[in-house]
């Protein structure tokens, strides 16, 4: 399943804005956009109905996530963005109604890197004021633990790891029963490791004992007996 920007924009139209206060931050539909965190200036969300895996050569590539991201700004962040645009002599048309930005991100789970493929600044009607294609790569592990970006990407990866099978079926509904079973098992082990570490450690210990016993029984462990 390739990320559909039109679908995201339609879903985004469900954002509600306060009629009583024009400068209030938008209230986001959290049934669609999962809130992760808020800094003093930015609210971080990702679209939990659209997040999926990449398709490579017609197959689901579970090593790469496709993530639609939403960031909404407070008044200070909005003014800061407008000031920077003015300083760099960029167009300010429509930016008096700036409310944040959307991003299209690919996360390479194996390499722990995020690639910002597309970034759109948006207004209160969800109209893209400016569309850019930065192709900016972020080394997630190289970021400080206090970095909001690292915490955001880590939360997205955690969510995906807890919903492996769901995301895979969303990407392609015809994945094989064997792959479904493999992903379900991997998902359950991840959840156990994170939520029940003692149970996970005990399970691993039992697996190691079983492996050693099988190795011994197969004759692979042959101590030298001295006469």
Closest CA to 190 of 225, 146, 158, 155: 158
Taking the C-alpha atoms of residue 2 and residue 53, their distance in angstroms, rounded to an integer, is 9
Taking the C-alpha atoms of residue 159 and residue 44, their distance in angstroms, rounded to an integer, is 14
Q: Which pTM value belongs to this model?
A: 0.83
Higher pLDDT, 3 or 218: 218
- 3-state SS string over the chain? CCCCHHHHHHHHCCCECCCCCCCCCCECCCCCEEEEEECCCEEEEEECCCCEEEEECCEEEEEEEEEEEEEEECHHHHHHHHHHHHHCCCCCCCHHHEEEEEEEEEEECCCCEEEEEEEEEEECCCCEEEEECCCEEEECCCCCCCCHHHHHHHHHHHHHHHCHHHHHHHHCCCCCHHHHHHHHHHHHHHHHHHHCHHHHHHHHHHHHHHHHHHHHHCCCCCCCCCC
Taking the C-alpha atoms of residue 141 and residue 155, their distance in angstroms, rounded to an integer, is 13
Least confident of 169-173, 182-186, 221-225: 221-225
Q: Which CATH superfamily is domain 5-175 in?
A: Surface-adhesin protein E (2.40.128.710)
Taking CA atoms, 186 is separated from 130, 180, 192, 208, in Å, by 40, 10, 10, 18
Asked if 123 contacts 129 with a C-beta cutoff of 8 angstroms, the reply is yes
pLDDT tens digits for range 188-223: 999 999 999 899 888 888 887 787 777 766 655 444
Query: How high is the pLDDT of residue 8?
Result: 52
pLDDT tens digits for range 45-69: 999 999 999 999 999 999 999 999 9
Q: How do the domains of the chain map onto residue ranges?
A: 5-175, 177-218
């Amino acid at each position: 399943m390739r990320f559909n920007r039109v679908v995201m924009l339609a879903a985004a139209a469900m954002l509600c804005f306060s009629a009583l206060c024009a400068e209030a931050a938008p209230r986001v539909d959290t049934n669609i956009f999962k809130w992760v965190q808020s800094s003093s200036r930015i609210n971080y969300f990702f679209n939990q109905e659209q997040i999926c895996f990449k398709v490579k050569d017609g197959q689901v590539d579970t090593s790469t996530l496709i993530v639609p991201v939403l960031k909404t700004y407070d008044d200070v962040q909005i003014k800061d963005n407008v000031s920077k645009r003015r300083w760099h002599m960029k167009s300010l048309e429509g930016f008096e109604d700036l409310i944040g930005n959307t991003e299209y991100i690919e996360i390479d789970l194996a390499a722990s890197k995020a690639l910002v493929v597309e970034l759109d600044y948006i207004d209160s009607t969800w109209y893209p004021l400016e569309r850019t294609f930065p192709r900016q790569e972020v080394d997630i592990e190289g970021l400080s633990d206090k970095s909001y970006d690292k915490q955001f990407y880590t939360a997205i990866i955690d969510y995906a790891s807890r919903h492996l099978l769901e995301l895979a079926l969303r990407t392609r509904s015809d994945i094989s029963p064997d792959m479904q079973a493999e992903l379900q098992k991997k998902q359950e082990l991840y959840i156990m490791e994170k939520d029940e570490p003692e149970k996970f450690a005990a399970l691993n210990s039992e697996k190691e004992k079983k492996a050693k016993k099988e190795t011994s029984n197969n004759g692979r462990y042959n101590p030298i007996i001295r006469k």
